[in-house]
Structure 1
Amino acid sequence: MSTYSKELEVAQLAVQRASILTKKVFHEKAKGTISKDDASPVTIGDFGAQALIIQAIKKNFPEDQVVGEEEASTLINDTKLRDQIWAFVKDTTLKDANAEKIIGGPIGTVDAMLDAIDAGNSAGGAKGRIWALDPIDGTKGFLRGGQYAVCLALMVDGDVKVGVLGCPNLPVDDAAPLTAETGVDQTDAEGKGVLFSAILGQGATSRPLGTAGLGESKAIHMKPVEDITQATFCESVEAGHSSHGDQHAIVTKLGVTKPSVRMDSQAKYGSIARGAGDIYLRLPVRADYQEKIWDHAAGDLIVREAGGEVTDTLGRRLDFSKGRTLQENKGVVAAPRTVHGRVLEVVKEVLAKK
C-alpha cells in the first residue's frame, strides 16, 4: 500500500514555493483592494500560486486532476494583468537546486503558465486521483496582513490522503498561544511561517516555511481539553462566511470564557491541530450555502491526524467526493475527539431553535 511519501514531498515543496510568491506579491503590490476582477494583489497572487503548484503536480503526476479556484480565460485578453502575474511566476524559485528539480524548476513561458492555471478545471468527484487547491485562502487576511493559507490536498476516490497548508503569517513555534491579535496586524518576519502536513494514517506535522528545501518537521497534536470552559475557540473573521451569532450562543452555552479568536483561512485548522487553539466552528449563514472542497480538504485531514474530529453540524464526516463543493454537508465542527461530542450536541441544540 502506498505511503504517499512522494505526493507529500511534492505538495510540500510546491506549497512552499507558492507561498514565497504570495509573500512577494503582498510586499510589492498590496494596496488594499479586494476585487478579483482587476490587477489586485490577490488576483496576481492567486493566479501565480496556482500556476506554480499545478506545474509541480503535472510534472510528477501528469494523469492527476486538479480542482483549482482560478481559470486563465480572463488573462488571454488582459495582457497587462497576465504580464504582471508572469513577472512574479518566472522569478519565483526555491533556493535549493534539488528541490527545484523535484517540482519542475521555473516555468519557461507565458503559455506554459496559462496552461498550468487552466489545468485546475477538474469537476472533482468520487473516482481517481484529484488534488484540491486554494492558492490563497483568506483573501482579506492576505490583504490586511492577517492570516491566510496556501492549501493543497490529494483525494483518491473521494478520500483525502495528503494535506498541506502553508501559513506565512503564523508563528513557527507550535506552543505560541492564539490571541485576538493573531488574526490581524501580522507579518512574515523572522519566526513566522509554518508548513502543516499530514498523510492519512501517519499523523500530522509542522515545520518552518522556508525558502529552500524542507526544514525539520515535528509531530503535532491537539491539546487535551480537560475543562471546556477554558477552551480557545476559533471562527472566521467575516460574518458572511460563518454565523457569528449562532457561534456566540454555542460557546456561551458551553461556558467558554475566553474571547473568540477570529482569523481568516485554513490557518484555523492548523492552529487547533497543533494545540494553539481548541475548537473551530463554521456555521452556515444561509440554508443553500455549499462550502468549497478546497477550503477544507487539507485542514480536515491535518486536524483528524492530529487527534481531532471534524464533522458537519449534523455529525457527518465531510464528504469530498461530490464534486467541487461539500454539497452533502452543512457547516463544520472541529474539536479534540474528547470534547467533539459535547460541542456537537450544543451545536445541534442551538441550531434546532432557529
Structure 2
Amino acid sequence: MSSYAKELEIAQLAVQRASILTKRVFHEKAKGTVSKDDKSPVTIGDFGAQALIISALKANFPDDEIVAEEEAAQLREDENLRHTIWDLVSTTQLSDPEAEGMLGGAIDDEEAMLTLIDYGNSKGGAKGRIWAIDPIDGTKGFLRGGQYAVCLALMVDGDVKVGVLGCPNLPIDDSAPLTGGMESGQTDEGRGVLFSAVLGEGATSRALTTGELARQKDISMRAITNIASATFCESVEAGHSSHGDQAEIAKLLGITNPSVRMDSQAKYASIARGAGDIYLRLPVSETYQEKIWDHAAGDLIVREAGGAVTDIHGKRLDFSIGRTLSNNKGVVAAPAAAHPEVLKAVQEVLSKK
C-alpha cells in the first residue's frame, strides 16, 4: 500500500471532477472565444476548477496548506461572474456516488465557494504539507480546443510526494505519436488522460472518466539509443520558451524530427509516457520566475517515469522556496541516461548569448 494512498486517490478524483467542469466550460462557453478577459471561459473554468479541488482537499486534509493561482476578490465584486461560476460548481459532480462522497460532497453556497477559492493563498515554503494547484494550465490551448492540464501536487517539507495531471485532450492511447495537430479542434472521442505519480512508486496513466477511477497502466520514458532520433516538446508561445535557442540545441544534438508544440504540463505527461522525449523551457527573461504550480506535478511524473528534470544549470527544481522557483532558471527534462548530453548542449548554446 502506498504511503500516500489516500492523498493519491483524493487527488485523482478531485482532478477528474475538475476536468469535467473544464470540459463543460469549453463546450458550453468557449466556442469562438480567443481572449482572456475578465469574463472569459478560462476565467470561469479557473475559478470553478479551483473551488472544486480545494473543496475536496479541505474535506479530507483540513490542516494542509494550499498554493493556488486564483483568489476570490474579483468574484466578490462581480455578481454575474460569481453566479455563472456557482452554477457550474454546484452542478458538477462525479457520476459514481461513492467516488463523489469521498470528495466530501457538495459545496454549500456561493459564499462557501469564495472562501474555498481563497484557501489557495499559502506562501508555500519548506515546512509542512502544501498542495499546489493550477486549475487550468495552458490558457490558450484550452481556448482553442488544444492541450491544457488540470494540475495538482502535494509537497511535504518542500519535496513533491504526489503529482496528478488531468489532460482532457491528450489521446488515451499511451503509444499515440505526438503530432502537430494536437493544438486545436480536439474531439472527446478517444481522448482524456489522468497521469499520476507518488515519489518512489513509479508513474501511471489511465483514461479520464466521469465517475470512478479507470484501470491504471504503468508508464515510462522511451529509451533513447541515439539522441538524434529524439523528439522535442516545446511551448506554443515564444514568450514562454525561446524557440530559436531550442532550434540551435536540436541542431547541435543532430535532432531532425520537428518539435511538437503544445501548451501546459501536457508536455511533461507526453514525454513521461514516451510519446516525446525531451522537454525544454528555456529562459526568455532574466527576471521571470516560474510558478511552482506550473511544474510540481509534471516534474514528479517525469522523474518517476525514468526521467531527469533540472534547470539549465543542472540543479533539481526547488519547490521549497515559496510560490515560485526562485532558485532555478528554465527546465530541462529528458530520459535519465540522455539528460547529461542534452544539458551539455543546452549550456553550450546558452553560453553564447
Pairwise TM-score range, normalised by the shorter structure = over 0.9
Amino acid in the other structure paired with 2:36: S
Provide the rounded CA distance (Å) in 2 between the counterparts of 1:287 and 1:120: 27
In 2, the alpha carbon distance for the partners of 1:2 and 1:185 equals 38
Q: Distance in 1 between matches of 2:19 and 2:35?
A: 19
Structure 1 counterpart of 2:177: 177
Which residue does the alignment assign to 2:113?
113
CA contact (8 A) 2:313 2:329 kept: yes
Question: Given residue 160 of structure 2, which amino acid in structure 1 is its aligned partner?
Answer: V
Partner in structure 2 of residue 35 of structure 1: 36
Partner of 1:342: 341
Structure 1 position 312 matched with structure 2 position 318: no
1:224-281 Cα offsets, whole Å, 9 max, x none, are 0111111111000000011111111101111101100000000000000000000000
The equivalent of 2:168 in structure 1 is: 168
Amino acid of the residue matched to residue 118 of structure 2? D
| Alignment partner, residue 70 of structure 1 | 70
Partners of 1:172 and 1:193 within 8 A in 2: yes
Alignment of 1:313-328 (within 5 A): 313-328=312-327
* Equivalent residue letter for 1:157: D
Distance 2:272 2:321 in 1: 26
Q: Would the aligned equivalents of 1:34 and 1:139 in 2 still touch at CA under 8 Å?
A: no
**Once the 2 structures are TM-superposed, how far is the Cα of residue 108 of structure 1 from its aligned partner?**
1.9
What is the percent sequence identity of the aligned residues? 71
Deviations 1:14-54 (A, max 9, x none): 00000000000000101424324x21100000000000000
Task: Give the Cα separation in 2 of the matches to 1:293 and 1:34.
Answer: 25
TM-superposed CA distance for 1:2, in Å, is 6.8
CA RMSD for the aligned pairs? 1.0
SS at match of 1:259: coil
* Pairwise CA distance, 1:332: 0.1
SS of aligned partner of 2:167:
strand
CA–CA distance in 1 between the matches of 2:130 and 2:184?
A: 33
State whether residues 144 and 183 of structure 2, in contact with CA within 8 Å, keep that contact through their aligned partners in structure 1.
no
Partner of 1:282 in structure 2? 281
User: Hey, what does 1:200 align to over in structure 2?
Assistant: 199
Q: Could you tell me which residue of structure 2 aligns to residue 122 of structure 1?
A: 122
Match of 1:80 in 2: 80
Quote how far apart the aligned CAs of 1:177 are.
0.5
The number of residue pairs the alignment matches comes to: 352
Instruction: Note if contact 2:34-2:140 (Cα within 8 Å) is conserved in structure 1.
Output: no
Q: Is this contact kept in 2: 1:21–1:49, CA < 8 A?
A: yes
CA distance in 1, matches of 2:28, 2:17: 17
Determine helix, strand or coil for the equivalent of 1:127.
coil
**Match of 2:288, SS?**
coil
Corresponding residue of 2:156: 156
Q: Distance in 2 between matches of 1:95 and 1:35?
A: 31
Would the aligned equivalents of 1:312 and 1:333 in 2 still touch at CA under 8 Å?
yes
C-alpha distance in 1 between matches for 2:277 and 2:231: 5
Whichever residue aligns with residue 254 of structure 1, its letter is L
Q: Distance in 1 between matches of 2:146 and 2:247?
A: 22
Deviating above 3 A after TM superposition, structure 1's stretches of 4 or more consecutive aligned residues are none
Task: Measure, in 2, the Cα distance between the counterparts of 1:112 and 1:192.
Answer: 33
Give the secondary-structure state (helix, strand or coil) at the position aligned to 2:337: helix
